A = this chain, B = another copy of it.
Amino acid sequence: MFFQKSPAITVQELAKMIGASCEAVDVFVENVGPLDNLPKNVLACYHNSKYKNSLIDAKHGFCILKEEDRHLLPKGLVGLFSPTPYRAFGKAALYFYPLPKSTGEISNLASIHPTSLIGKNCQVEPFAVIGAHAKIGENTIIRSHCMVGERTEIGKDSLLEYGVTITSCIAGDRLYIKPGAKIGQSGFGFHMDERGHFDIPQVGCVRIGNDVQIGANTTIDRGSQHDTIIGNFCRIDNLVQIAHNVELGDGCVIVSQVGIAGSAKLGKFVIAAGQVGIAGHLNISDGVKIAAQSGLMRDVGPGETVAGSPAIPVREWHKQTIAIQRLIKK
């Protein structure tokens, strides 16, 4: 109802498009959908063993799964096999529901500074504001109530959802910012003083790589003197706080309500689960995984998984949790 759907497609064509193998022929896939109570002609995905019963109970339709799960496939359900079923499913879903495309329309209800440079085929909606010398790449969509600050640069094929504020920022291509995110404001930097705190001017910026996604109502402060840096392919969820001078390496996944304090440095592909807190000035190495609600107070080495507050290696944390439970069973 809310999203326009592409027409039905044969399962062979779709399998080819998404890099999956399929033995069926001459049947049409009409849509993607969830695995439970899968309708006829709809394609689902099996990638979480929690939903094994939904797979076994399916009576018809199509399902992408791993070759190793083939034995679970019930009669009547057509299997498409892929080593990365969820990625393949994403490709199929993207066929049926393509990303929004710019209409190329610049609303005359927007306020656009004459010195700004707006690329070809951009869409700027009512009540958006674009500041002096701002640069926006081609095909980018700027929705209503957005503010793109003076001299801020956004790459091509980007989407700024409703009410985004982005200032003092240089961002790459295919940036996708969800509603209400605030990027580039001054950080929480001051000399604490009982005579009255004294603010330190925050004169860095925010540098964002390509293919980055930033969640709704998330806040990313600009650097104080260094810059705040968000690497390529980072995925940042809703209501996340990223303080001044933080650096995220490529591919980091920062789940909702995480807070990263000033000048913390995260390597590549660090995963911080929901509500994690990371103290200031820490170094978190490549590939570190941080369990939900953990509180990091020390540096973490490459590939470690940590949990707890204060955070410790996850195996120790599990032992601790069991040892504490035993305390009350004596």
Contact = CB atoms under 8 A, between A and B. Distances in A.
A91 B179 CA distance: 36
A321 interface: yes
Contact of A277 (B147, B237, B275): B275
Chain A binding surface, main DSSP class: loop
A161 B202 CA distance: 15
Q: In the assembly, how many copies of this chain are there?
A: 3
Interface residues of A, number: 108
A111 B93 contact: no
A185 interface: yes
Interface in A168-212: 168, 178-180, 182, 185-186, 188, 190-194, 196-201, 203, 205, 211
Nearest to A34: B225
Contacts of A129: 125-127, 144-145
A217 B215 contact: no
Interface in A307-330: 309-310, 312, 316, 319-321, 323-325, 327-328
Contacts of A94: 199, 201
A323 B320 contact: no
Interface stretch (A21-29, A68-76, A116-124, A255-263): A255-263
6 contacts: A90-B191, A127-B127, A163-B163, A194-B269, A256-B259, A323-B327
Interface string A55-75: 000000000000000000000
A197 B253 contact: yes
Given A163-B165, A257-B241, A257-B257, A93 B197 contact: no
A50 B239 CA distance: 30
A184 to B, nearest CB: 8
A83 to B, nearest CB: 11
A162 interface: yes
